[in-house]
Structure 1
Amino acid sequence: MSHPDQTSQFALLGQRRFAPFFWTQFLGAGNDNLFKFAFTVLVTYQLQVEWLPPSLAGLAIGALFILPFLLFSATSGQLADKLDKALLMRFVKSLEIGIMGLAAWAFVQDAVNVRVVTLLACVFLMGLHSTLFGPVKFAYLPQHLGEREITGGNGMVEMGTFVAILLGNVVGGLLIGMAEGGARAVAIGCVAVALLGRVVVQFVPPTPATDPTLKINPNPFTETWRNLKLAHGNLVVFRSLLGISWMWFFGAVFLSQFPAFAKEVLHGNEQVASLLLVVFSVGIGTGSLLCEVLSKRHVEIGLVPLGAIGMTVFSVDLYFAATGLPLPQGAASYTLGAFLAQPAHWRVMLDLALLAGSAGLYSVPMYALIQLRAPKSHRARIIAANNILNALFMIASSLIAGALLGAGATIPQVFLATGLANALVAGYIFLLVPEYLLRFLAFMLTRFVYRLKLTGDAHIPTEGAAIVAANHVSFVDAIVLAAASPRPIRFMMDHRIFATPVLGALFRLVKAIPVAPQKEDPVVYERAFAEAAKVLAEGDVLGIFPEGSITRDGTLQPFKGGIMKILERQPAPVVPVALVNLWGSTFSRIEGGRAMARPLRRGLFSRVEVIAGPAIPAALVTPERLQTAVGTLLHTGGPNPGPVAVPVARSSTP
């Protein structure tokens, strides 16, 4: 269900298709953390339990909460694909009421062992509650949001989740810390939030099953393996799952070390530890919301490398910022006010906020990409596979961070090692999925060299085979078109461009298709058209430049006949696209046919425009008609579109 006239991601909060789901997720995440944090404080500061010392309480609670993700994610993914997601959400929220009722009873018991054992069981059950909700949460959005809304919707959910985590921790700490009746207040709070969540979820609209005939496999181990194999069937999706799981590894290292970092490195009290959590949560929420603005309301995976760079840069700077900090004068630790009065501490907080914001930029487009690229019938099961990987990576982060600290590393050194490891992992993922690099280069080019304006980009279909045919003005036309398209484009390009040192390497990396004139190299010629037909047969987008080469004088050259050869092999609609105002820029041919003669000769942020027209059915396409369509878009599109050549010559290359 798409609403292309949607103006802002915040406007989704006024619509039934999103708002009840958002608040259901928000209340669930908040209640999880209210309960867990209050319980952690209870066993750390208020109860004496020999078999659960304070040093192990947080680890035990965290492990019990994560365990259901490993055991039951595969089953929950099957349920989310088989059942109506709204009905499943209502069941989960009803389950939450029962779990919180049991926890409320335990909080007010006098017998310490009964109290603690029951609350530990409730932690496991709340982990099960979250395991059941996880696949539903991410599979719900693509059924109700269009391609132009999915990034904003994910950003809102990510922001809401971290704000809910923050509020849950703060409220749980305040309630359990009350001088009298703290445990009773927590019990009432947990049940009240669960009841409110059950009321809200009743307004979630029906969300039909994507695979109602699915037979549930009750064996979680074989189903987990099958889900991982299923996800691996789409390499871009699977490697994106690994990328998200790495983000959880990265974040878990920092979140788990905040209390010790505040105490041992920053010399602050409990309020300082809470401040670090606030800064981190606000940072990741802000980064998540920025995704829609920076992506121009498309799924812009070019933000992922930008976020990865930020995660490394600010982690490394945090190491240096945390070195040689001043000690508190006349006190064992800084109060919140005294901590904020030290200028050196502001650099630490800025680094934390920026690395968290970078993590938001990194994760939201990846989630959106998985939701759009995963098969609809298997989407929830692939999300379940993601949850399994996330849990494994978070467990690994605890073990590795613990091993580093046990070997004598300081907390800032652990942060440094994590930041450097992030550079290696991210670089490896981007080499495996070069689409990220192309979109990153396109993002940087169209934000920091040009000012890109998109017109008619809704004509480029978000699913199904299509050909995008554009005029050829510069060496970066393919990169500009990649920035304008909501989907990846496989380009057919003149084989001579592949000889260009930097761009040639990039185009080879992203599997662009080199094409040569038939007389010059018949083998390359035939291979190019076979590969083009394969792209369309697989339901993907093919990009071509029908002029055959880059214009040398700014005019629209005659369109050649290769487009007809492509359509004969594999018919598909053809979208005419005009690239406006790229002529005369650094990457076009001017001054005697030379390109890149004077870098940035038009200055930074010169405006360029991509204008897409309505698709032409395959049966109606001719080179003449296609050239006329592109020429019309050029004449109506921009301040300096360039003249259009009228004569049309037929040839055998696209």
Structure 2
Amino acid sequence: MAGHSQFQLLRERRFAPLFWTQFLGAANDNLFKFAFTLLATYHAAEWGGVDPGTAGFVIGAIFIAPYLFFSATAGQLADRYEHGALIRFVKNLEIGIMVVAAYGFMGRHAMALYACVFLMGLHSTLFGPVKYAYLPQHLLEEELTGGNGLVEMGTFVAILLGTISGGVLLSTGSEGAKYVAFGCLAIAALGRVSAGFIPISPAPDPTLKINWNPFTETWDNLRVAARHRTVFLSLMGISWLWFVGSIFLTSFTPFSRTVLGGDENVVTLLLAVFSVGIGIGSLLCERLSGHKVEIGLVPFGSIGMTVFAVDLWLASRGYTPGASATVTVAVERVPMGIYLFLAQQGSWRIMVDLFLVAMFSGFYSVPLYALIQSHAEPSHRARIIAANNILNALFMIVASLMAGALLSKGLTIPQLFGVVGLMNAAVAAYIYFLVPEFLMRFLCWILVHTVYRLRTTGLENIPAKGPAVIICNHVSFVDPLVLMAASPRPITFVMDHRIFKTPVLSFVFRTSKAIPIAPAKENQALLDEAYERIAKALAEGELVAIFPEGRITDTGDLYPFRGGITRILERSRVPVVPMALQGLWGSFFSRKDGPAMSKPQRAWPFKKIGLVVAPIIQPEAVTPEGLQEKVLAMRGDWR
């Protein structure tokens, strides 16, 4: 997959029709919602009479309510029925809803439009589980991050286009609402055409008996999701993102109106910047993850979200509408258009903060979706996605209530952004305390993207499933971290007990459940325990890595491979994967010319290193001498 590009999926029927169906559905959602939000905010008396400051929050809450009540049923339907047929049914429903919406827009029937907000929420509730259950049916595991990145990018580009279209159509004057009605109907029809090309996708559990009680089924879905701790906590992480995101998205209209002094076009600009940021972050995930599910990006994303949300509060706090860098005279406080807004002091800092909050949100969300899809039980995948939607709805409802309560108590919208940023830091720290694997993978990812530049060859030789023993030369203290960062699968390492206790790195080794080992003359009990744990890990289908030299090299050359590999294979007849590290000799973490980590001048970033992976060797063909010869040949002269 080294030369694979995620954009190739857009040419393939297994992905493209779903992508465009999702794209058009998201565009229609946001054309409809944003147009109605603008009408309810800027022309409240004619469109329902709701307080303009809270209209966006009310519409947002109505839209997500169906997620709470109907997600459990939607998950069952997605597991019970063929996915293509179910998607086409949902698109037919969208056309019917848009007929009612057209009646509401053309006749200024606000209650009909509020009803359509609820029904479009129901449409999205039904579509969500089948969409995310469809992807792992048709994509390879190494394509999941790229596929999810495209879907996330497409969704937010669609949000951008739908939002811009809503603003442009309404800006045409008194006939704007009618143009919105026609636009919504046309997009719904195009979505149905796209859905017609979705290939047959067999139902994961066609004998499933539907439980129509949403309360008991919701509880059952949450219990199914909780069976896999990492999956459940990933669901919580995604739901938290929707908590944060819903506050930002529903705040843009009042933020533009009351803080920035902007008109409807400035609201569109803010949403455009936010959408482009998430789209770019989502697309970058595949490149940054190396075509695998890389949860190390999740902490990276959460850190960026916090930093730039807090800076957005600071930037907004010092912003004064009319305080232009080039105009010193007083400006009448009328809503500004885009060009005048961009001429204000501090406006560009606000835009950059919004963009970066969104981009880091993409880094945060895409790996979590891919992790859930790759780890969830296939027969329950749609119901687990439904559980995710239920949690998302709960978190968004709480977000709306919290935002409304804080604003009613006198908190400003910039202060709300700051509070959310600080809350994000606290929640992220708690999640990473519960699942330290996220931080461990983050440290590994940082290592091979800042300290080193890693070039890999032959990663496809690592078995996609099942047990195997990995053997590798031992050059530095960070060898296990480099192997973990490169491997598409988790690795259980066997390492010298003294290296296992290395400060700071010991956190990574313990979190990855490394197995400390000692020579018999030092600690026979620890040695025996290590071999028992190795056998158990292999019996459970894991990858186990050992360094057959038994120590880090002091010379750069390979020490003789010891017989530990023979003892392992006598008990566990599993294949062996030889690997060779290149370029780490002479680095900060190696022992060249003295103790490791004693020469700061070697800690320059972006040092080139390599990892070569050979085809597997069957256990009966393995000898320590043969493995050493193989690793030496792969390593070559680049030590």
Tell me by how many angstroms 1:320 deviates: 1.8
Deviations, residues 218-246 of structure 1 (Å, cap 9, x unaligned): 22222211221221111111111111111
Q: How does 1:443-522 map to 2 (within 5 A)?
A: 443-522=445-524
Deviations, residues 551-604 of structure 1 (Å, cap 9, x unaligned): 222222222232333334444332111111111211111224x11121252733
Separation (CA, whole Å) in 1 of partners of 2:111 and 2:536: 59
Tell me whether 1:425 sits opposite 2:419 in the alignment: no
Separation (CA, whole Å) in 2 of partners of 1:232 and 1:255: 29
Matched with 2:271 is 277
C-alpha RMSD of the superposition: 2.1
User: SS of the counterpart of 2:194?
Assistant: helix
Separation (CA, whole Å) in 2 of partners of 1:619 and 1:204: 47
Assess if the C-alpha contact under 8 Å between 1:284 and 1:357 holds in 2.
Answer: yes
User: SS of the counterpart of 1:557?
Assistant: coil
Separation (CA, whole Å) in 1 of partners of 2:28 and 2:37: 14
User: SS of the counterpart of 1:299?
Assistant: coil
Tell me by how many angstroms 1:23 deviates: 0.5
Separation (CA, whole Å) in 1 of partners of 2:80 and 2:3: 30
Residue type matched to 1:11 in 2? Answer: Q
Matched with 2:125 is 131
Matched with 1:648 is none
Tell me whether 1:634 sits opposite 2:612 in the alignment: no
Which moves more between the two structures, 419-428 or 181-190? Answer: 181-190
Separation (CA, whole Å) in 2 of partners of 1:72 and 1:180: 37
Residue type matched to 1:32 in 2? Answer: D
CA distance 1:67–1:433, change in 2 (3 Å): same
CA distance 1:306–1:617, change in 2 (3 Å): same
Residue type matched to 1:102 in 2? Answer: V
Q: How does 1:5-154 map to 2 (within 5 A)?
A: 7-44=4-41, 45=43, 48=46, 52=50, 54-55=52-53, 57-109=55-107, 115-154=109-148
User: SS of the counterpart of 1:521?
Assistant: helix
Matched with 1:221 is 215
Residue type matched to 1:493 in 2? Answer: M
Separation (CA, whole Å) in 2 of partners of 1:81 and 1:633: 47
Runs of 4+ in 1 over 6 A off after TM superposition: none
Assess if the C-alpha contact under 8 Å between 1:435 and 1:488 holds in 2.
Answer: no
Tell me by how many angstroms 1:346 deviates: 0.8
Tell me whether 1:354 sits opposite 2:363 in the alignment: no
Deviations, residues 394-429 of structure 1 (Å, cap 9, x unaligned): 111122222222333222222112111211211221
- Where structure 2 has 5 or more consecutive residues not aligned to the other structure, the ranges are 323-329
CA distance 1:50–1:296, change in 2 (3 Å): closer
Tell me by how many angstroms 1:56 deviates: 5.1
Which moves more between the two structures, 263-272 or 73-82? Answer: 263-272
User: SS of the counterpart of 2:602?
Assistant: coil
- Where structure 1 has 5 or more consecutive residues not aligned to the other structure, the ranges are 642-654
CA distance 1:324–1:604, change in 2 (3 Å): closer
Residue type matched to 1:209 in 2? Answer: A
User: SS of the counterpart of 1:474?
Assistant: coil
Tell me by how many angstroms 1:464 deviates: 2.8
Matched with 2:397 is 395
CA distance 1:315–1:58, change in 2 (3 Å): closer
Deviations, residues 73-100 of structure 1 (Å, cap 9, x unaligned): 1221122223222222112112212222
Separation (CA, whole Å) in 1 of partners of 2:284 and 2:150: 10
User: SS of the counterpart of 1:493?
Assistant: strand
User: SS of the counterpart of 2:448?
Assistant: helix
Matched with 1:407 is 409
User: SS of the counterpart of 1:383?
Assistant: helix
Separation (CA, whole Å) in 2 of partners of 1:560 and 1:214: 54
CA distance 1:411–1:33, change in 2 (3 Å): same
Separation (CA, whole Å) in 1 of partners of 2:560 and 2:444: 27
Identity %, equivalent residues:
59
Separation (CA, whole Å) in 1 of partners of 2:82 and 2:15: 16
Assess if the C-alpha contact under 8 Å between 1:438 and 1:479 holds in 2.
Answer: no
Separation (CA, whole Å) in 1 of partners of 2:513 and 2:307: 30
Assess if the C-alpha contact under 8 Å between 2:56 and 2:251 holds in 1.
Answer: no
Tell me by how many angstroms 1:26 deviates: 0.1
Separation (CA, whole Å) in 1 of partners of 2:50 and 2:258: 23
Separation (CA, whole Å) in 1 of partners of 2:126 and 2:136: 18
Tell me whether 1:211 sits opposite 2:205 in the alignment: yes
Separation (CA, whole Å) in 2 of partners of 1:300 and 1:124: 36
Residue type matched to 2:94 in 1? Answer: E
TM-score (norm 1): 0.91
Deviations, residues 497-550 of structure 1 (Å, cap 9, x unaligned): 133211123322332221222342233223322322333333332222222221
Matched with 1:603 is 604
Which moves more between the two structures, 384-393 or 370-379? Answer: 370-379
Tell me by how many angstroms 1:117 deviates: 3.2
Separation (CA, whole Å) in 1 of partners of 2:65 and 2:422: 29
Tell me by how many angstroms 1:606 deviates: 1.7
Residue type matched to 1:541 in 2? Answer: L
CA distance 1:614–1:215, change in 2 (3 Å): farther
Matched with 2:250 is 256
Separation (CA, whole Å) in 2 of partners of 1:631 and 1:448: 27
Residue type matched to 2:437 in 1? Answer: E
User: SS of the counterpart of 1:210?
Assistant: coil
Separation (CA, whole Å) in 2 of partners of 1:234 and 1:628: 42
Which moves more between the two structures, 86-95 or 463-472? Answer: 463-472
User: SS of the counterpart of 2:317?
Assistant: coil
Tell me by how many angstroms 1:618 deviates: 3.6
Assess if the C-alpha contact under 8 Å between 1:147 and 1:462 holds in 2.
Answer: no
Matched with 1:649 is none
